[in-house]
Amino acid sequence: MGGWVAVSVFGDAPKESAERSTRVSLCPTFAELIALRAGTEASLAVDIPMGLLETVKPRPCDEQARKLLGHRASTVFAPPSRPLLAAASYSDARALVDESRKTEPAAKSLSAQAFALAPKIKEADDWLRSHEGAQNWLFECHPELSFRAIADGRVLDDKKTSHGQVDRVRLIAHEFPDALDVIAETRLSSKDAQLADLLDAYAAADSAMHVAAGDYEELGGETDGAGLIMRMVC
């Protein structure tokens, strides 16, 4: 997927009201994603690790998320350590992990899936470290946790299954009455975003709304070596 898919929510009216609307955007960079809230005091929830450890292992918020998701725990992976963000390739990252094990034998290896996200994680990490105070309104979320909150604590089936995808469509349509029309009218290529990506973006927007209302759950809360908070909200 290219860029960052975002859902903006406009209006404070109840969900049933047509006065409340949404918009889907594709932002090429993290900075452009952040710029969507310019001139507002909106909360923003993004599905990207914020706050990193010095070795590859689950953060406390990752461990807590896994417990909440039960049989879907594998959807929460240990993010790259901050030193690994400089690796030019997956093999280089694996070599750095092997080197770190000389001083910390318990250090975990890095999955290919996690390394594939390293450029985006680095982009967010670089931005956060140069914008002190941003975590007062910028939060990390995880789509499976966000959907769990929307479904009143029910953990959804894999989004790759027909049941899991239809379940997500129904939940988003209930929370955001205009969502299906907006998605249908959004002209993004399959390289830019799949339907599952758009639904995840709506779930993140729902988490951001709960944060703004003060009605949300926060996992973790510890501070990393760079002073960033490691947490997830839902």
User: Cα dihedral angle (1, 62, 169, 165), rounded to 10 degrees?
Assistant: 70
Q: pLDDT by residue (tens digit) across 139-158?
A: 999 999 999 999 999 999 99
Q: pLDDT by residue (tens digit) across 36-75?
A: 999 999 999 999 999 999 988 899 999 999 999 999 999 9
* pLDDT exceeds cutoff 60 at 16: no
> Token pair of 128, please?
């956060």
Strand partners, 5: 26
pLDDT-above-70 percentage for the chain: 95
Rounded to 5°, angle at Cα 141 from 175 and 190: 70
- Given this model, what pLDDT does residue 172 score? 97
DSSP secondary structure letter of residue 2: -
Between CA 66 and CA 132 the distance in angstroms is 29
Between CA 191 and CA 53 the distance in angstroms is 31
Q: Which residue has the higher pLDDT, 184 or 94?
A: 184
Determine the longest span between alpha carbons in the chain, in angstroms: 59
Residue 1 confidence class, pLDDT cut points 50, 70, 90: low
> Token pair of 74, please?
């594998």
Residue 12 confidence class, pLDDT cut points 50, 70, 90: low
Long-range contacts of the stretch 112-120 (C-beta < 8 A, 24+): 113/77, 114/56, 114/77, 114/78, 114/79, 114/80, 115/80, 115/84, 115/87, 115/90, 117/48, 117/49, 117/79, 117/80, 118/80, 118/84, 118/85, 118/87, 118/93, 120/4, 120/30, 120/48
> Helix, strand, coil: what percent of the chain each, to 5?
45, 15, 40
**How many CA atoms lie within 13 Å of 121's alpha carbon, on the beta-carbon side?**
21
- Given this model, what pLDDT does residue 18 score? 62
**What mean pLDDT value characterizes the chain?**
92
Q: pLDDT by residue (tens digit) across 75-98?
A: 999 999 999 998 988 888 888 888
Please give the full DSSP string across 170-212, using - where no structure is assigned. HHHHHH-TTHHHHHHH----TTT--HHHHHHHHHHHHHHHHHH
